[in-house]
Chain A
């Protein structure tokens, strides 16, 4: 097999983040090449560069030995690179054929020959073991069928290299198996597939070679036959984790929140659940960590518990109430605080002042003003105190939230939520995108709360954060709990396996002896 694609020293600088740091990738013709990595490892950025959506800050792309520069997705497509995005690029009100013909420059420039194109699509699909109805309206198709349409669309437009971004994330196991068959049929016909994933088993199953990315850099490229799933897990998670266990001042108290059999169905199709039969409890003075790769149900879990989404079934008992049946306002008024996953989109109103943002959760309460009016002077005093207590760096209490740095914005959210003196604190990605100092600060605040007896539900994709702060950890995978472990009783490898979809019981049963930890991974 000859090398078809060579990406050399690709760097991509986003404001404040180096998403790709001198990444090299070499893909051979006709292989399935997996890109494995955690969230933020730089997989998607690299592939968006390859398919022309982003321009690299530096670095070169060689296609079949020739230096290429892509200014748009069209350029890349014309050179035979097609990408199937996680969020499908399809227009639901149009038919399959129409979706494939948008922007088509081949043949008659005016006439839209649906019949002829539909026939070609059908033949193309059948050649690789897929079945599609060219005249079906895309919006009526299942998610798996839509993905098939995306693949056929890429082939129809002349793709030789097909990039699949987390293709199984939206599929049922049966659909995933069908997809793998398709991929095999494609590579048998000299197509090349780049497969982005964080799921170990499927990487092991489908790929020929794997390139592992971690924090924007390449860990290495391996032949899949020479790597065990355990090794892949360690390579993906990698870094030595500091177990600077934070001393507890107080024992864990009574049960505060008890979640039983919580499920949430997907809205459109009946098959597939976003949350599947989750049960757990959070005790007073305890941090329960929810780990897992992004998009495995964490956001839905938090939204169900805070009344933003309605769960399909189950209960969440808290102070004698079922949180799943209450409105957001009712929940938040029962000593629950919520640090939402996105401070800019949800946690703050960016064009408002800090004072106004500090009022967001409690403005309606009596101590924020009598009757129908807000007591802004009171709020201002409160804000000034919080800004001081939480050392928020801002020119004034009336600065707009959007003018603060990310760390200070997060401090504002944390200050507001913690100052509400909650009994239950739900914190999602509380340190995402923050610098080391700010992370440390937020962590200490959370620990303080824990020591005061607050029960904390900490959702995070940052391994270190979860391991450092949690008393117990539940790993979510496709809406299901893979297992519940104590940080001191688990290993990186075990965590990685659970995040990749292995159940804790299976891992522990299947393991005869401790896998040797290789020292110099890098």
Chain B
């Protein structure tokens, strides 16, 4: 029973930790399926994390924080779209610049809003939403049914986005743009509009992931608090073979590192924590070498499209 409870506890943590990576991965997925390669999730999450704290602090509601965070995400997404879609700039370079911008702007604004003093400004985090009855299921009850609302949203988005991409006409149109924008164009799809929409909506979802870091996992903003989760999300998309369910599994596996390190410490096996943090990236590189010869990624990913 004790062991089961421990496992339940680990599962609870894993799901909670996976949620922001999952959200960021799903946001990136929408962009990728529209043919845009964005490595700037880290920056979007950072600015969103700050916006969430600022929103909660100034408007007194964590949900206002989320709204502000998603707004900030949308602005970053718009910036990315203008540069890469309309001006056809190199997507990787713009993505890297988004990361620099996200880090530096969130740091700057944090110091402006809350001062350089050592005391951090704390806000209220999301309240746990316990689902009656279900949360009482032994072992897994709390892990699945006693989480913060955003965690539920993240996991509900998995089937929703899967349904959107693979079972609806707009989803098919989006995928056709990512596979071959010229074909999509001749069939009457507005490629640029599709890419703009995917980028903006995707960035807003990524931003929700960022908001959860500062108003969910923690209840304050810390400089560079995303700590590589944007890159883990990027890895999760590739490791998850550009499928929402794949991303979910990848996020759970990748974030289980924390859990595993605890288990190992308990068991007395001395694998250093830093090696566990490498796992997502090593797995992704391995996956990349295996997938590279097969058509897993959208065929036109990263290639700018020029009409006519």
Instruction: Let me know if A91 and B179 touch, CB within 8 A.
Output: yes
Interface of A is mostly: loop
Instruction: Let me know if A102 and B176 touch, CB within 8 A.
Output: yes
| Smallest beta-carbon distance A74→chain B, Å | 3
Q: Given that A74-B187, A74-B188, A103-B187 are contacting pairs, would A93 and B172 also be in contact in the complex, using a CB cutoff of 8 Å?
A: no
A176 is an interface residue with CB less than 8 A from chain B? no
Contact partners of B189 in chain A: CB under 8 A: 102-103
Say which residue of A91, A93, A101, A139 sits within 8 Å of B169 (CB atoms): A101
B60 is an interface residue with CB less than 8 A from chain A? no
Most buried by A among B168, B183, B188: B188
B89 is an interface residue with CB less than 8 A from chain A? no
Say which residue of B170, B176, B183, B186 sits within 8 Å of A110 (CB atoms): B170
Instruction: Let me know if B171 and A103 touch, CB within 8 A.
Output: no
**How extensive is the interface on chain A, given as a class?**
20 to 34
Q: Given that A77-B188, A102-B189, A112-B167 are contacting pairs, would A89 and B172 also be in contact in the complex, using a CB cutoff of 8 Å?
A: no
| Smallest beta-carbon distance A15→chain B, Å | 13
| Smallest beta-carbon distance A220→chain B, Å | 32
Instruction: Let me know if B169 and A94 touch, CB within 8 A.
Output: no
B229 is an interface residue with CB less than 8 A from chain A? no
Instruction: Let me know if B172 and A73 touch, CB within 8 A.
Output: no
Within residues 350 to 385 of chain A, which ones have a CB less than 8 A from any CB in chain B?
A: none
| Chain B residue nearest to A101 in the complex (CB) | B172
Q: Given that A104-B169, A111-B169 are contacting pairs, would A90 and B183 also be in contact in the complex, using a CB cutoff of 8 Å?
A: yes
Instruction: Let me know if B172 and A98 touch, CB within 8 A.
Output: yes
| Chain B residue nearest to A106 in the complex (CB) | B169
Contact partners of A77 in chain B: CB under 8 A: 187-188
B175 is an interface residue with CB less than 8 A from chain A? yes
CA distance A110 to B175 in the complex (A): 14
Within residues 110 to 132 of chain A, which ones have a CB less than 8 A from any CB in chain B?
A: 110-112
Q: How many pairs of residues, A versus B, come closer than 8 Å at their CB atoms?
A: 65
Instruction: Let me know if B167 and A111 touch, CB within 8 A.
Output: yes
A72 is an interface residue with CB less than 8 A from chain B? yes
Instruction: Let me know if A102 and B295 touch, CB within 8 A.
Output: no
| Chain A residue nearest to B298 in the complex (CB) | A93
| Smallest beta-carbon distance B93→chain A, Å | 19
CA distance A442 to B184 in the complex (A): 43
Instruction: Let me know if B179 and A94 touch, CB within 8 A.
Output: yes
Contact partners of A102 in chain B: CB under 8 A: 172-173, 176, 183-184, 187, 189
Within residues 253 to 288 of chain A, which ones have a CB less than 8 A from any CB in chain B?
A: none
A512 is an interface residue with CB less than 8 A from chain B? no
Instruction: Let me know if A91 and B180 touch, CB within 8 A.
Output: yes
Contact partners of A139 in chain B: CB under 8 A: 295
| Smallest beta-carbon distance A485→chain B, Å | 41
Q: Mark A80-93, 1 if CB is under 8 A from B, else 0.
A: 00000000011111
| Smallest beta-carbon distance B265→chain A, Å | 44
CA distance A474 to B176 in the complex (A): 44
Contact partners of B188 in chain A: CB under 8 A: 72-74, 77, 103, 105
Instruction: Let me know if B169 and A89 touch, CB within 8 A.
Output: no
B299 is an interface residue with CB less than 8 A from chain A? yes
B162 is an interface residue with CB less than 8 A from chain A? no
| Chain A residue nearest to B297 in the complex (CB) | A93
B182 is an interface residue with CB less than 8 A from chain A? yes
Instruction: Let me know if A89 and B295 touch, CB within 8 A.
Output: no
| Smallest beta-carbon distance A482→chain B, Å | 35
Contact partners of A93 in chain B: CB under 8 A: 179, 295, 299
CA distance A111 to B166 in the complex (A): 10
Instruction: Let me know if B186 and A73 touch, CB within 8 A.
Output: yes
CA distance A8 to B169 in the complex (A): 38
Contact partners of B168 in chain A: CB under 8 A: 110-112
Within residues 34 to 90 of chain A, which ones have a CB less than 8 A from any CB in chain B?
A: 53, 72-74, 77, 89-90
Instruction: Let me know if A73 and B167 touch, CB within 8 A.
Output: no
17 CB contacts below 8 A, A to B, read A53-B186, A89-B182, A89-B186, A90-B183, A91-B299, A92-B299, A93-B179, A94-B172, A94-B179, A101-B169, A101-B172, A102-B184, A102-B187, A102-B189, A103-B188, A108-B169, A110-B170
Give 4 closest A-B pairs by Cβ, nearest first: A74-B188, A103-B187, A73-B186, A102-B176
Chain A residues engaging chain B, CB cutoff 8 angstroms: 53, 72-74, 77, 89-94, 98, 101-105, 108-112, 139
Please give 7 more A-B residue pairs, beta carbons under 8 A apart, in addition to A73-B188, A90-B183, A92-B299: A91-B179, A94-B179, A103-B176, A110-B170, A111-B167, A112-B167, A112-B172
